[in-house]
Amino acid sequence: VHQVFVRASDLNIVCEVKPVSINQPCDMLIKAATHNAQTVNSFLVFMYADGFLHKPINVWQFQIHAVKRLDLTCIQYQTTTSTLLLRGTRSSRLVQCFG
């Protein structure tokens, strides 16, 4: 069984990796809270080969872009339309939700 240890540069971010067999891919769980819309949360994730965090393996940089949420409700097989201002343009665009 091979164990990889992970830590994030931000103490509010949860990172964990479960032990796997040697030479097998592993899944990393990262939980990070988002802030208000239009903000970017940047942090680093460090991977280590030992529990004392002395043998670094990799470093990854993550950026989470928080955007406004748009909830649309429709009846199945009917179309619901809504206007949405897309980034980079000053005109509204038609958005359709198909259920």
Give the domain ranges of the chain. Answer: 5-65, 70-99
How far is the C-alpha of 14 from the C-alpha of 29, rounded, in Å?
8
Instruction: Write the CA distances from 84 to 69, 78, 92, integer angstroms.
Output: 11, 19, 6
Q: pLDDT digits over 48-69, tens only?
A: 999 999 999 999 999 988 877 7
Q: What integer pLDDT is reported at residue 76 of this predicted model? A: 72
Q: What integer pLDDT is reported at residue 90 of this predicted model? A: 66
Which residues in the chain show pLDDT less than 70? 1, 83-99
CA atoms within 13 A on the CB side of 40: 4
Instruction: Output the pTM of the full model.
Output: 0.65
Q: What integer pLDDT is reported at residue 85 of this predicted model? A: 61
